Chain A
């Protein structure tokens, strides 16, 4: 069998995702440039060279190129890396999970050749994505008649592509070695988040700056490719990683037994398998986890909850307090150099107060991602997941109504979002204590409440889409798309008073515009988010009750 078929099939399965992602980023780029261009460039021309460099603005460029930084450098790199992880994790482990790898390998093709075909598809898809991003970044300024000066958008696109391949190949390697897709997507995704954060934070402090060299994300944008062009040394580091992961994949796949259907083995399974602990483990959870639909659903997602809540508590909450305390002086000095309107220009964050620091590092992007992720994953799979796995038929052969199934799954969604909110609250409160920052506890609580409400809005949307269509994909992609678009709308519309009305459509506006960490709970905004969450969730019920269930 020619493995070309494997390449084309994989590309065929995945190209739509790449197209949607790159077209969206392209559109957002145009939108962002238009907003920046509209604000004007006067203020920025007066900045000293050093400040411009810190802000990542190329010399001789229009302020519009700031959009490159946000759209291409941040959104583009995260999106393409995420897609690469998704494709990479499915390469081997995904086929194993679906039970199709055996069939694939029944053809006269070796494991290695199938792996190579899958890798080729990954490279082709991500390469095409990178090219599309480059095309969009060349096209956008022409469309808007904006001066890009010395900005190296092509270099950024190349860095984005190689960076994505690094994480994609890591996912392939873990999948090939273990056969477990959850591990193959979870570990690289976690690495993206952590290294993205560390690459931004470590250089801020002199004592931690050297450690940035072990952070993969540093090799993506540490050299500031938008300013300085392609850094071949950094790319070489990433490519060495790619090569190592590829070799690991080949060895890993050849050495092991293939799984008929990948099974997760939890700590509990180990305890139950061991005769000494069996009785204890059985009592602890053996019967608890199957005691109700809610309990079972909760145990299915407990690993993700532990990771997300743990990260929010320890890294994004607790650690940020002492970190701020350590670099308070440096931040204040940096902030002092910038005129106030420039601060507003780059997002309006005043990092010189602990509240501003937390807002920028924890609450701006990471906390929303955490609650939206947990809410979307649990809600999207609520009924659509059981439909996809064809287990809903058997479940609904029991004397329980569809409404009850959805209700118990909704309960778990809410519970999980609340747990992440609580972890964030505890983390920030602890961080404030550890760093001696003296932030207001009620205000931290108010922030966590707004965070939970934001998570419930998107959880409600995912629940609605999943319940109405029965398709996990639609629910996840649909919710993600709405989240990204409304996030960008809020971020950019806040820069331009003309677009103020548009902001009202974005849940993020209600979540953060009043700065609850400084000003306490905005009751009106909280009510809007709550109402949206309730309406979306409630609408899921009749839609689910009314339709035909999918066979699988």
Chain B
């Protein structure tokens, strides 16, 4: 049983009327990894998760979770998963504690001591009513709810919303602990930075179609960065333009900026030998730029 993938989809497709929300998704998420599911808003991330949870039914194709068919054995699957919905709503009139008790009662077998422990780590206020909590504090209750039954698979749909950086780190630690126990996290997000710190592999989805699945390191390597180098005095641009992977090289008053997806060591070497390097800044490649990389690659192949 443990040999089966955490998630496996075959040609998973969902149409809303004529609109293709998800097209022929073939995905395999291994046990014991954090899998980042990355895409802009409306790309089909939530549709995928909701289909996996049997909230909505695939137009065609199929999916299994932990080896079980998502449509045939939804209850058995839900016993072994934790879920944070993207569009989070809970019962505003219940306190955090009552909310967790409610779900713990429905689930059965939840260790309350572990709930207390999680709530301490995330500094959650369980005495307040959900309706009186801020977005971030409500999110904490949702996270505890997802982690509290020590599920074999966590389906997290944009779980970071509203969490402050300190809590994000704690949350990342929680995810690392999960995979350390050979359990699995499926983490959907629209920002790369949120995913790359914890994920082993990343799937990118756009317009309902899976663009690629890559290891995080490889993805980063492929990503274009905007790099800015500041020198004392003017510098010659030619060595930078000659670097493989460098594009759009410009200079103003000793500041060289370029788009770069080549070897970082080579770039630094060139910079050091060209002039007196005073400062260096690099802006994170955003998702759109990574898409561009893939589209460019696709065009090269074609």
What is A's interface to B at a CB cutoff of 8 Å?
260-261, 263-264, 286-287, 289-293, 296, 300, 389-391, 393-401, 548-549, 551-552
Contacts and interface: CB of A to CB of B under 8 A. Distances in A.
Contacts of B106: 292-293, 395, 398-400
10 tightest A-B contacts by CB? A399-B79, A390-B89, A290-B102, A397-B83, A548-B56, A398-B106, A399-B78, A549-B55, A263-B131, A393-B85
Contacts, number: 86
A389 B131 contact: no
Given A396-B55, A397-B78, A549-B50, 18 more contacts: A260-B131, A287-B101, A290-B99, A290-B105, A292-B105, A292-B106, A296-B91, A394-B142, A395-B106, A397-B53, A397-B83, A398-B78, A399-B76, A399-B78, A401-B74, A549-B55, A549-B56, A552-B89
A401 B89 contact: no
A292 B131 CA distance: 21
Interface string B98-138: 11011101111000000000000000000001011000000
Contacts of B99: 290
A397 B198 CA distance: 24
Contacts of B131: 260-261, 263
B47 to A, nearest CB: 10
A399 B89 contact: no
Interface of B: 46, 50, 53, 55-57, 74-76, 78-79, 81-83, 85, 87-94, 98-99, 101-103, 105-108, 129, 131-132, 142, 145
A296 B38 CA distance: 37
B53 A396 contact: yes
Given A289-B98, A399-B107, A263 B132 contact: yes
25 contacts: A261-B92, A263-B92, A286-B98, A290-B98, A290-B102, A291-B105, A293-B106, A389-B89, A390-B85, A391-B89, A393-B55, A394-B83, A394-B85, A394-B89, A394-B103, A396-B55, A396-B78, A397-B78, A397-B83, A399-B78, A399-B79, A400-B78, A548-B56, A548-B57, A552-B89
A390 to B, nearest CB: 4
Nearest to A272: B95
Contacts of A291: 105
Contacts of B82: 397
A394 B102 CA distance: 11
Could you say which of A263, A389, A393, A400 has the most chain B C-beta atoms within 10 Å of its C-beta? A393
A398 B103 contact: yes
Contacts of B103: 394, 398
A401 B91 CA distance: 20
A264 B89 CA distance: 17
Nearest to B104: A290
Which of B79, B91, B94 is packed against the most chain A CB atoms within 10 Å? B91
Contacts of B101: 287, 290
Contacts of A389: 89, 91
B105 A552 contact: no
A186 B101 CA distance: 30
B53 A263 contact: no
Contacts of A398: 78, 103, 106-107
A551 B94 CA distance: 21
Nearest to B103: A398
A548 B103 CA distance: 22
Given A292-B105, A400-B106, A393 B78 contact: no
Nearest to A404: B75
Nearest to B91: A391
A212 to B, nearest CB: 40
Contacts of A293: 106
Contacts of A292: 105-106
Nearest to A392: B55
A287 B75 CA distance: 24
Contacts of B90: 391, 394
Contacts of A399: 75-76, 78-79, 106-108
A335 B74 CA distance: 65
Contacts of A287: 98, 101
**Which of A397, A400, A401, A549 is most buried by chain B, counting CB atoms within 10 A of its CB?**
A397
A293 B106 CA distance: 8
A527 B292 CA distance: 68
Given A263-B131, A289-B98, A401-B75, A551 B53 contact: no
Contacts of B81: 397
Contacts of B98: 286-287, 289-290
A33 B91 CA distance: 49
Nearest to A397: B83
Contacts of B108: 399
A548 B55 CA distance: 6
Contacts of B53: 393, 396-397
A549 B74 CA distance: 14
Contact of B87 (A260, A289, A390, A401): A390
A549 to B, nearest CB: 5
A389 B85 CA distance: 13
A548 B102 CA distance: 24
B56 to A, nearest CB: 4
A552 B102 contact: no
B258 to A, nearest CB: 42
A395 B81 CA distance: 13
Contacts of A548: 55-57
Nearest to A263: B131
A261 B93 CA distance: 10
A27 B132 CA distance: 47
Contacts of A390: 85, 87-89
B74 A264 contact: no
A261 B101 CA distance: 22
A263 B82 CA distance: 28
A291 B53 CA distance: 24
Nearest to A285: B98
Contacts of A300: 93
Contacts of A391: 89-91
Contacts of B89: 389-391, 394, 552
Nearest to B108: A399
Most buried by B among A289, A292, A399: A399
Contacts of B93: 263-264, 300
B70 to A, nearest CB: 13
A456 B105 CA distance: 29
Contacts of A400: 75, 78, 106
A243 to B, nearest CB: 34
A291 B106 CA distance: 8
A291 B94 CA distance: 13
A298 to B, nearest CB: 13
Given A260-B131, A399-B78, A551-B87, A296 B102 contact: yes
Nearest to A296: B102
A253 B55 CA distance: 41
Contacts of A261: 92, 131
A292 B98 CA distance: 12
Contacts of A263: 92-93, 129, 131-132
A264 B94 CA distance: 10
A293 B102 CA distance: 8
A548 B50 CA distance: 9
Nearest to B55: A549
